[in-house]
Structure 1
Amino acid sequence: MILDFYNPPLALLASSSKEGLELGGSKLIVSIDEDRNLYSEGHIYTEMSWAEFYKEEGLEDIINNFTQKEFESISDDSEALVDSISKIIYKIIKKKRLFYGIFDFEVDAFLNENTIIPGLEIPPKIINTLMAAHRSTRDKILFPKILRDEGDQTKVQIKFFGDKKDRLIFSGSTLEELANQLRVVRGFATGIVCTTQILANFYILNDNIIFKEDDERKLYLDVENIQLIEEGIKNEILTPINWFRIDLGINALETLNLWDEIRKNDKLQLAIAEYDHYLLEMIFEEFEKLGTGQQIGYNINDDFAQMSQQERKQVLKDISYAIKILHENVKEK
């Protein structure tokens, strides 16, 4: 399945040449709509620099100096973090979208696989292949231009590859089915972005995504995806761009450095409570529509699925009351 990713970060579009290369990274909140379109909703961190090589013979791969192209960060500012996340959540609700997760892109010319995949050992041969392909592509200035304009927005088309790719695409066709799965999902997927002439391919190398607490989390390396990348590079079809990590669902907020500091903030709790109510109401309406109480998709939260209509209404009522109390607390401050 090919997905449209609107207003992607510079890190996903990083390029290089004989003169230098782009280095840096981005961490951003991403939403999804019913048609599986992804939207960049706001950056937690972004930094991109141009690293210029020495021009002297024999030093062509050695970095001479850095020029910062873009920098924005609220990752260490608790007040700005709460304000930004809260606004994004309300925007997602207003736009009838879902909090898909937090994307993290790292552009380092494939010098360090542990940048966003701690503990994952990738064979040195693969790292050398990625580095060599990156060097060859920049020497030939062959980095694909995959960014497209669409009205007042930009977009790239992306595709997930891997044995466990369905954990990121999800089953079902309605927003309610997506909401039901994103409400309970936990974990992340990591891998490598390689581009073709038209697509950004996300090759998943590892994931620990679960939908139930008793699901098994196991570190693995998707060897078949590694082979696909190697073959694509060999045939000059793929250009390796960066590492990626995708933490799924609103639970992804728990991975933020300042989460323990901000998680009890009334303003943030209110926004999250409003979002949870938005999801539950959406799911409940789907149950009502079906009129059977049968499960939607493969991942409905068990306790909610087994509730009677009266019990589900009580859950929504309780959440509404909790939201009211949070509103009052915020006003008093």
Structure 2
Amino acid sequence: MSLEFYNPPLRIFSSSSTKKGVEIGGAKSIISIDSEHNFYNEGNIYTEMSWAAFYEEEGLEDSIDTFTTTEYDSIREDPEALVDTIVKTIYQIINNRKIFYGIADFEVDAFLDANTTVIPGLKLDYEIINKLLEAHKRSREKDLFPKIISDSHDIKKIKIEFQGTKKANVHIMGSKLEDLINKLRLAKGFAVGIVCTSRNAANMYIMSDNIVFSKDEIAEVYIDDENIKVIEYGIKKKLLFPISWFRIDIGIRSLETLEFWDQIKDSPDLNKAFGHYERYINALVYKKFKSQAESQKIGTDSEDDFYKMSPKERKKALKDMEKAIEFLDKEYKE
């Protein structure tokens, strides 16, 4: 099932090249989702692009000689700007009736470096890296990047689709906003992989993830060997064309991965915004519980009491509601 990604970091999905060099770089963006799980880039924490010039000597045409920075914009090392951006983003998400999804990293290195920073610790055979390198070269030569579309409001977007054994960890199922937030509010972890283009869409092939949806659940990293085989086969058959690496940290706790998190986490403005967001998502969870309870003809005249509770009491009530929702879902299906 394909989704739409609004205002993606365009240079990442359409980097240019010539026989003399290639564009490489990266972007870190704050992502929200709507009730249909479409992605929205709410703002970039950093973007960086460089021109990597190849050696001119014969036999070294695909090896990088020099780097020249062509674009750089970053707030990741500016605590004040980070707080301002996160606070603005949270209120923006609430006002537009969306959900804070997480932080997405994209890295375009033309697969010239086996040690990608997006997937630290991931070691791929040089044979696979060489296949990615050659396939990316074909992508550049034939301009096989995802098709960038403009809607009626001139907003840029691309089609994306997640692929992998555990793709449900990142493409969360639900038909309403409250279904999605009920899963996302306790989510933590990340998924990493490769963005490949196919049929003008960006396919996000997940190679590994450690995402959990409960505080008590222990995160375990796994390697999706089957999906890696699919990528290899698709490249071999010239059905898939690799573009970049990606890493997506999901949930509001993804902010804890920011380099300067310890310096900003106690900001009064930030915590005030978090308080507003918590009330917003609590209302969504309550809405889900209320609608399901009503369908089972269970009395639900407790809304006023719920909003009069202390944060600690609401937290416990939400946990009880979550168990009730699971029970009602099971009852409904039976």
1:214 corresponds to: 216
The answer to whether residue 126 in structure 2 is matched with residue 132 in structure 1 is no
**In 2, Cα distance between equivalents of 1:119 and 1:145:** 28
**Which residue, out of 310, 313, 331, partners 2:307?**
313
**In 2, Cα distance between equivalents of 1:143 and 1:67:** 25
**In 1, Cα distance between equivalents of 2:294 and 2:123:** 48
Q: Which blocks of at least 5 consecutive residues in structure 2 are unaligned?
A: 297-301, 315-334
Structure 1 residues 109 and 5, CA, compared in 2 at 3 Å: closer, same or farther? same
Q: Could you tell me which amino acid in structure 1 is paired with residue 222 of structure 2? A: Y
1:6 corresponds to: 6
1:31 corresponds to: 32
Deviation at 1:311, TM superposition (A): 6.2
Whether the 8 Å CA contact 2:206–2:224 is kept in 1: the answer is yes
Deviation at 1:64, TM superposition (A): 4.2
Q: Could you tell me which amino acid in structure 1 is paired with residue 306 of structure 2? A: R
Deviation at 1:278, TM superposition (A): 0.5
Whether the 8 Å CA contact 2:22–2:53 is kept in 1: the answer is yes
The answer to whether residue 76 in structure 2 is matched with residue 75 in structure 1 is yes
Count the aligned residue pairs.
306
The answer to whether residue 274 in structure 2 is matched with residue 280 in structure 1 is no
Tell me the TM-score normalised to structure 2 length. Answer: 0.85
Structure 1, residues 34-63: CA drift from partner, whole Å, max 9, x if none?
122111000111101222324454442233
Aligned pairs for 1:289-300 (under 5 A) are 289-292=291-294
**In 2, Cα distance between equivalents of 1:247 and 1:15:** 27
Q: Could you tell me which amino acid in structure 2 is paired with residue 13 of structure 1? A: S
Structure 1 residues 45 and 93, CA, compared in 2 at 3 Å: closer, same or farther? same
What secondary structure, in the 3-state scheme, does the structure 1 residue paired with 2:31 have?
strand
Q: Which blocks of at least 5 consecutive residues in structure 1 are unaligned?
A: 295-307, 321-333
What secondary structure, in the 3-state scheme, does the structure 1 residue paired with 2:124 have?
coil
1:46 corresponds to: 47
Whether the 8 Å CA contact 2:114–2:123 is kept in 1: the answer is no
Whether the 8 Å CA contact 2:190–2:210 is kept in 1: the answer is yes
**Segments ≥4 residues shifted beyond 6 Å:** 316-320
Tell me the TM-score normalised to structure 1 length. Answer: 0.85
Deviation at 1:285, TM superposition (A): 2.3
Q: Over aligned residues, Cα RMSD in angstroms?
A: 2.2
**In 2, Cα distance between equivalents of 1:291 and 1:71:** 51
What secondary structure, in the 3-state scheme, does the structure 1 residue paired with 2:222 have?
coil
**In 1, Cα distance between equivalents of 2:23 and 2:126:** 23
What secondary structure, in the 3-state scheme, does the structure 2 residue paired with 1:291 have?
helix
1:250 corresponds to: 252
**In 2, Cα distance between equivalents of 1:313 and 1:31:** 25
**In 2, Cα distance between equivalents of 1:236 and 1:175:** 38
Structure 1 residues 15 and 222, CA, compared in 2 at 3 Å: closer, same or farther? farther
